[in-house]
Chains A and B, each alone.
Chain A
Amino acid sequence: MPDSQNLLDVRGLKVHFPIEKGIIFKRVAGWVRAVDGVDFSIKKGEALGLVGESGCGKSTTAMAVAQLQTATAGQVFLEGRDLASLSAKDLRAARKDFQLVFQDPYSSLDPRQKAQDIIAEPLRIFAKNGLITMDEAAIQRESLSLMDRCGLSASFATRYPHEFSGGQRQRIGIARALALGPKLIIADEPVSALDVSIQSQILNLLKDLQKDFDLTFLFIAHDLAVIEYFCTRIAVMYLGRIVEITDAATMARNPLHPYTKALLSAVPLPDPRKERSRRRIILKGDVPSPSIEYKGCPFRERCPQAMEKCALSPPSLMQAEEGHQVSCFLYGGA
């Protein structure tokens, strides 16, 4: 049962997509296992970073948590409530508590809506459905104050998205996500599309907002530096599964899984002397296709420390030390 301390509990989440064949009469030829059994939980006020290379299922996990993608199996508990079991009406009301910040600041805003209308839209939808009581004047005031809080001048209210820069657009997206006063923000690579100087501005804004609004984050990124700066805990994903999860400091000091080690060794160091002595672990081959079902560990073929038993059965996530879980036979398990 989910822990009451946790805001979000994800249990055995699986998202499989069918591969369809045939032109007129479609049949299912196989499955892409985008997310294949993911477990994690986030405590109130925490920021969990989900990291992994592209195609490993990070974004699909985010969409499934946000209930925008139907999960094939598993549950998502928000404050102990299983979101998938809610009726359409209850889910609509529950959406107030979890909101999304998107990756692409260009496609995440409707080009035909003015900035203020974009930010006010969640409020208008909820007011229309009778889920909050707010009149138009209050919505206007609230959206303006949100713009101000996210560093946008009130004079921008009537501008269209194409009149803003990437960073400003992302601020609009963040203000929209905050409009309903959510508890959880699911940020799907919120800074990946921005250049480095803007990245830090947006990250600092998110940090400030986290303090002020008492937010909890599920933060998805492929940039380890961003994750280490922003998150209190880090989960590493590989091919639809979490291979290692621990707090940010432990992850940097003592990574256990061979994949995490390789990932961390790829980060360049700012100190040139240290950088010269940095030993990179180069992985052979590519990420295997998620449409094949693996009997053993999915990382086996690229792993420098693969053993015989890795081919027999997949390792499950287990405790290697206090607050540090890893799914690898090197650290125990049958």
Chain B
Amino acid sequence: MKSNRLTRNPIAMTGLAIIGLYLLVILVSTFWLPFDPVEMDIDHLLEGPSLATGHLFGTDEFGRDILSRIMKGTSISLIISIAATALGAVIGTTMGTWAGYLGGRWDHWLMRVADVMFSFPSLLLAIFVMAILGEKTYNVIIAIGIVYIPQFARISRGAILTIKSSEFIKAARSNGASSTFILRKHLLPNILVPLIVQVSLSLSVAILLESSLSFLGLGVQPPAPSWGNMLSSARKVMVLAPWTAIYPGLAIVFLVLGFNLLGDGLRDILDPRLRNVR
């Protein structure tokens, strides 16, 4: 029944198809790449896209094949985005739901911590964390995850507060339900909609954050390809060879679009109040 509703939702299906395409790219890239993504080729510097040379998306300033680098970078970008969102969502939501549900002193201090984290712009906070942890790929995950914690905490707490005082929570308590039961059965399902929207947004923002960090030289370190550091190195030759920037940029745009579409579709599917509305 659930899969039925998913297949009948064109928005979600489009998003899912785009994400599926990227997953396919990852699968292919683990077995086969058109060229070696890190090998330099001084005979073919900054060549435009052409079928004849086999460089479909052209080459960069070291003569490396851009298509191969994008394909290789897909798995890095996707893993960072999913892992960082998962990290932030799990810790942030746990923090926010308990703070919202317990209230009082807990709520007070947990949310002040979140406020302090919130007061830094997300990129600045990520740079700060990267500077402390060092420039490693898995540190990018931790840095973006930390940026997400207060966001998820805020959203889940706010949502919990609006439904915590509902009479159906009182009814559950008068039936002898425990706090964990109420949290799991009544509160979490009811805050799912804002959380899913936030997850889909976060997945795409994580791609952009990772790109920004790599662009600034703090993220994935060269020569390993990521969409961000590809854009970063393309900056210098962008006017001469626009394809060095356009294709990694398009890769980011489409993945972000895919996540956003999926999030929109899931929101409609998961909310029973919107289910039969056409």
| Partner-B contacts on A (CB < 8 A) | 24, 63, 66-68, 91-93, 95-96, 98-100, 102-104, 107-112, 121-122, 125-126, 129, 131, 160, 162, 173, 176, 180
Q: What are the residues of chain B within 8 A of A110 when measuring CB–CB?
A: 168, 186, 189-190
Q: Are the CB atoms of B273 and A162 closer together than 8 Å?
A: yes
Q: Are B273 and A176 in contact (CB under 8 A)?
A: no
Which of A93, A100, A108, A125 sits near B177, CB closer than 8 Å?
Answer: A125
| Set A107, A112, A125, A131: member contacting B272, Cβ < 8 A | A112
A92, B176: Cβ atoms under 8 Å?
A: yes
**Contact between chains at B168 and A109 (CB < 8 Å):** yes
Q: Does B166 belong to the interface (CB within 8 Å)?
A: yes
Beyond the given A93-B176, A95-B175, A126-B176, could you list 18 further A-B residue pairs with CB under 8 A, ordered by the A residue number? A91-B176, A92-B176, A98-B174, A100-B171, A100-B174, A103-B167, A108-B166, A108-B170, A108-B171, A109-B168, A110-B189, A111-B190, A111-B272, A112-B190, A121-B172, A131-B176, A160-B272, A162-B273
A-B pairs with beta carbons under 8 Å apart, 30 shown: A24-B112, A66-B174, A67-B174, A68-B170, A68-B174, A91-B176, A92-B176, A93-B176, A95-B175, A99-B174, A100-B170, A100-B171, A102-B167, A102-B171, A107-B167, A107-B168, A108-B167, A108-B168, A108-B171, A109-B168, A110-B186, A111-B190, A112-B272, A122-B176, A125-B175, A125-B176, A125-B181, A162-B272, A176-B171, A180-B175
B173 at the interface (CB under 8 A from A): yes
Contacts of B167 in A (CB 8 A): 102-104, 107-108
Chain B residues closer than 8 Å to A122, beta-carbon distance: 175-176
CA distance in complex: A102, B175 (Å):
13
Q: Would you call A107 and B166 a contact (CB within 8 A)?
A: yes
Cβ of A186 to closest chain B Cβ, rounded Å:
9
Residue of A whose beta carbon sits closest to that of B189: A112
Give bound CA distance, A103 to B189, whole Å: 23
Q: B187-233: which have CB < 8 Å to A? A: 189-190
Q: Are B176 and A95 in contact (CB under 8 A)?
A: yes
Residues on the A chain within 8 Å of B273, using CB: 111, 160, 162
Q: Once the chains are docked, how many angstroms separate the CA of A162 from the CA of B174? A: 23
CA distance A176 to B170 in the complex (A): 13
Which residues in B have their C-beta under 8 angstroms from that of A176? 171
A313 smallest CB distance to B (angstroms): 37
Residues of B within 8 A of A111 (CB): 190, 272-273
User: What CA separation (Å) do A147 and B232 show in the bound complex?
Assistant: 65
A95→B174 contact, CB < 8 A: yes
Shortest beta-carbon contacts, A-B, top 7: A108-B167, A92-B176, A122-B175, A102-B167, A107-B166, A112-B189, A110-B168
**Inter-chain contacts of A126 with B (CB < 8 A):** 175-176
CB distance from B255 to the nearest CB of A (A): 31
Instruction: Give the nearest-CB partner of A96 in chain B.
Output: B176
| B141-181 Cβ-contact flags toward A at 8 Å (1 or 0) | 00000000000000000000000001110111111110001
A180: B residues at CB distance < 8 A: 175
Interface residues of B in 113-150 (CB under 8 A from A): none
* Residues of A close to B190: CB separation below 8 A: 110-112
Please give, as numbers and ranges, the residues of chain A lying within 8 Å of B189 by CB-CB distance: 110, 112
A221 to B167, CA, bound (A): 17
CB distance from B274 to the nearest CB of A (A): 10
A86 to B39, CA, bound (A): 75
Of all chain A residues, the one with the shortest Cβ separation from B274 is A162
Docked Cα-Cα span, A66 to B174, in Å, equals: 7
With both beta carbons as reference points, the residue of chain A lying nearest to B172 in the complex is identified as A121
Give the Cβ gap from B193 to chain A, nearest Cβ, in Å.
10
Residues in B whose Cβ lies below 8 Å from that of A63: 170
- Cα-based distance from A180 to B177 in the complex (angstroms): 13
A96: B residues at CB distance < 8 A: 176
Docked CA distance A12–B186 (Å): 35
Whole-angstrom distance between the alpha carbons of A120 and B44 in the complex?
Answer: 71
- Which chain B residues lie closer than 8 Å to A103 at the CB level? 167
By a CB distance below 8 angstroms, the chain B residues around A160 are: 272-273
Chain A contacts of B112 at CB under 8 A? 24
Q: How far is the CA of A180 from the CA of B172 in the complex (A)?
A: 13
Interface centre among B177, B186, B189 (most CB of A within 10 A): B177
